[in-house]
Amino acid sequence: MAAFRGILAIGIWFLCIRFSVYCYTPFPEEMNSVLDALVEETSSTGYNLYAQSTDSGQGCYGHFVCDRLLSRFICHPCLQNVRVDLINGRPSNTGAQVHLVDCRMRYKNYQFTK
């Protein structure tokens, strides 16, 4: 699967799967649902969470991780920023990942193996 990396700043990187979806597919809604769930659940679940949305049959799978040295109150805004970067960076791609220094979020259209 083809992918590319772009360095955004020191300690930050973005990985994107080059396969795109079209605006009339249900994938963008599934992706937003998964990313919203990851951000909303941060304060109650801790530092590592998987989420999925398969309502339309297409499926989107997401994962977040925060450094355990961060408080949950710092992890949550970190993930909010990562979510914005994912949406603004490659909104039509079937998968992407953003790493900041202390947190990471990713999504794709198939289940994670690790």
30 inside domain? yes
How many structural domains comprise the chain?
1
101 inside domain? yes
Query: Looking at residue 19, which CATH number applies to its domain?
Result: 3.30.430.20
User: pTM score, two decimals?
Assistant: 0.75
Q: Tell which residue, 46, 107, 32, has the closest CA to residue 76.
A: 46
Q: Per residue in 9-19, pLDDT tens?
A: 334 445 555 55
Average pLDDT, the chain: 75
18 inside domain? yes
114 inside domain? no
103 inside domain? yes
pLDDT at 21: 58
Q: Per residue in 52-86, pLDDT tens?
A: 998 777 789 999 988 888 887 788 888 888 888 88
Residue 80 corresponds to which amino acid?
Q
77 inside domain? yes
113 inside domain? no
Give the residue numbers spanning the domain of 69: 3-108
